[in-house]
Amino acid sequence: MKKLILLLLLAPGLLFSANTQVFDKDGIPIKPAPSRLVNIIEGAPNILTSKQLNQLEAELIQFSRSTGIQIMLAVVPNLNGYEKAQMAIEIGRKWAIRENGKDSGIVLLLKPKTINSQEYVFIAIGSGLSHLLPKEIGARIVEFEMLPEFIQNDYSTGISKSIQTLNSLTLKETSASEYLSKTDRGISLWTILPLLVMILVFIVLRIRSENRRNYSSGAHPFWTNLFLGGSVGKGSHGSWSDFSGSAGGIEGCGGGGATGSW
């Protein structure tokens, strides 16, 4: 009976101790054991099915065999106050993602969105791969391969596309310059999307305003003035300088990517 009471008293402490072992003293995730290439840190939202986990693990194993480069996927519950770039780089350092003594591994860091927190994704590329994968590559892969799928909650496809792109680049099937050229759209959709929404709202409000004015005064409708080249709202000049967008992310998703060194 005394042993049972003692066990019940110790149980909360044992559970707390187990939970604290998910991160080290610096707040960096401890590498899971046994070692895998797809690592879901305890507490992270369940965004991948067992089938998807196994498929991504197989893809990463094949990538390592064909390129000699190791990619580690780390899905974390939080960033513990770190910037996403620094968290990814620290994982590379502490998990010793190296090949032949060189920093030539890649970390795919993903912190899924929760009710109370934003989603973040980052690709950290070891300095030993800078000749194949310049610093712009990580950001482009996040923006063009990952984010379009992630906003559909299709994490598996987004991660798989990023692996395929990295495979093509590291095997030199596609050069970095070719990929950067192919994905260079000047201003990305995510950059101008807020501007497009604001323009649409502006147009709708002006149409309503003009319709009310035209019904009361018998003046030409808004669209007639527009096609005739007339200025809507005489004496005023519109300006788009107040509208701005920021590249590299969308609402609820902190996109980014860069070359890290560990």
pLDDT of 74 higher than 90: yes
Fold (CATH) for 23-185+250-259: Diaminopimelate Epimerase; Chain A, domain 1 (3.10.310)
DSSP 116: T
pLDDT reported for residue 206: 79
pLDDT reported for residue 218: 58
Domain ranges of the chain: 23-185+250-259, 189-227
CA distances, 176 to each of 40, 63, 78, 138 (Å): 30, 18, 31, 11
In angstroms, rounded to a whole number, what is the distance separating the alpha carbons of residues 76 and 59? 20
pLDDT of 98 higher than 90: no
pTM: 0.67
CB neighbour class for 225 (10 Å; exposed up to 12, middle 13-18, buried from 19): middle
CA 39 to the chain's CA centroid: 17
pLDDT winner (highest mean) among 90-94, 159-163, 201-205, 244-248: 159-163
pLDDT reported for residue 147: 94
Per-residue model confidence as pLDDT tens digits over 60-69: 999 999 999 9
Cβ 86 vs Cβ 49: under 8 Å: no
Q: Report the share of the chain in percent with pLDDT over 90.
A: 52
Per-residue model confidence as pLDDT tens digits over 143-190: 999 999 999 999 999 999 999 999 999 999 999 999 999 998 755 555
